[in-house]
Amino acid sequence: MKKLIIAALLIVGMTASAQDQKERPKRTEMEKMTPEQRQERQLKRMTSELGLNEKQQEQMKQLLAEQGAKREKLMEKREATKEEMKEKREASKNKMQDERKVMDDKMKAILTPEQLEKWKSNQEKMRERAGNRMRERMDDRTKDDMEN
């Protein structure tokens, strides 16, 4: 008897959650919508939930349009910043590689072949340790983000 009741509750719960998911648009559908369509959808939802009159609807429509424009500008600025940062990282990486090559050439002129090999292996070990520390910090940061 208990199993039958539990099974019935599970079925009712699954059906209710399935209906909720059908009512909400999926993320991909929302991304396909234009900003105007999203604003119109939000206005309809607010009108039905809050019972807005005609004047309030017009005011809300203007407000939502302003917010949408600000949001678009912010997104564009964020994208530009991402590209800029990517270019800076690439330039910095290239500069470091050039400096490392110059250092290697100078070390070749100073050290014997045995000393050079030992120096290179020490450099590689240091890079590996630094990479491990960076991975650990990134893992810690990811864990902290998940907890918050």
Confidence of residue 24 (pLDDT cuts 50, 70, 90): low
The predicted model scores a pTM of: 0.43
Residue with the bigger pLDDT between 78 and 15: it is: 78
| Highest-scoring range by mean pLDDT, 15-19, 20-24, 31-35 | 31-35
Residue 90, H or E segment: helix 54-110
What does the pLDDT read at residue 29? 63
- Using the predicted structure, report yes or no on whether residue 114 has a pLDDT greater than 90: yes
58 domain-assigned: yes
Output the CA–CA distances (angstroms, integers) from residue 61 to 48, 74, 90, 146, in the order listed.
14, 20, 43, 36
Mean pLDDT of the chain: 84
Q: Which residues of 120-138 are buried (b: 16+ CB within 10 A; e: fewer)?
A: eeeeeeeeeeeeeeeeeee
Q: How far apart are CA 67 and CA 76, in angstroms?
A: 14
Whole domain around residue 74: which residue ranges?
A: 32-90
Instruction: Report the percent of the chain where pLDDT is more than 70.
Output: 89
What does the pLDDT read at residue 25? 57
69 domain-assigned: yes
Average pLDDT over residues 100-118: 93
82 domain-assigned: yes
46 domain-assigned: yes
Q: How many independent structural domains does the chain possess?
A: 1
66 domain-assigned: yes
Each residue's pLDDT tens digit, 75-105:
888 888 888 999 999 999 999 999 999 999 9
